[in-house]
Amino acid sequence: MPNVQNAQAIAHYYLDLIEGRGCRIQLTVDGGTECTEMLKIHETLRADAALKFVPPSWPYSVSLPSTDNTPIESFWHWKHNGEGRSIRYTLKEGVDEGFYLPNDYIHW
């Protein structure tokens, strides 16, 4: 991810995950401002696709402090170990190969 604090980058990555793995009933986040667009997308998709799962019985999302949000925290460790390289390495590789331009607003 070029910028894990950018709401549009997070939303784009989330759409990639949905495309590859499908949408989940509930999204659990740490409540950071980078999650706002992703939460809007999730709520819209779920409202259209899962009509029987309605709030308040089935909330669209839950916000937890990141220390309590162990699935996402463990995901970053899995992602790093699973691919055998760090995000820093991947970004540097993207710069070296000309795929990622850190000064280009679109690449943020």
Residue-wise pLDDT tens digits, 53-91: 888 999 999 888 767 766 656 666 666 566 556 677 777
* pTM score: 0.58
> Would you place residue 31 in the very low, low, confident or very high pLDDT band (cuts 50, 70, 90)?
confident
Is 57 found in the same domain as 18?
Answer: yes
Instruction: List the single range of 82-86, 98-102, 103-107 with lowest mean pLDDT.
Output: 82-86
Is 59 found in the same domain as 8?
Answer: yes
Residue 107, helix vs strand vs coil: helix
Is 92 found in the same domain as 58?
Answer: no
The closest alpha carbon to 72, from 22, 21, 14, belongs to 14
Is 38 found in the same domain as 12?
Answer: yes
* Angle (CA) 94 10 31, round 5°: 140
Is 59 found in the same domain as 73?
Answer: no
Q: Note the pLDDT of residue 104.
A: 79
Mean pLDDT, the chain, whole residue set: 79
Side chain identity at 79, as an amino acid letter? Answer: K
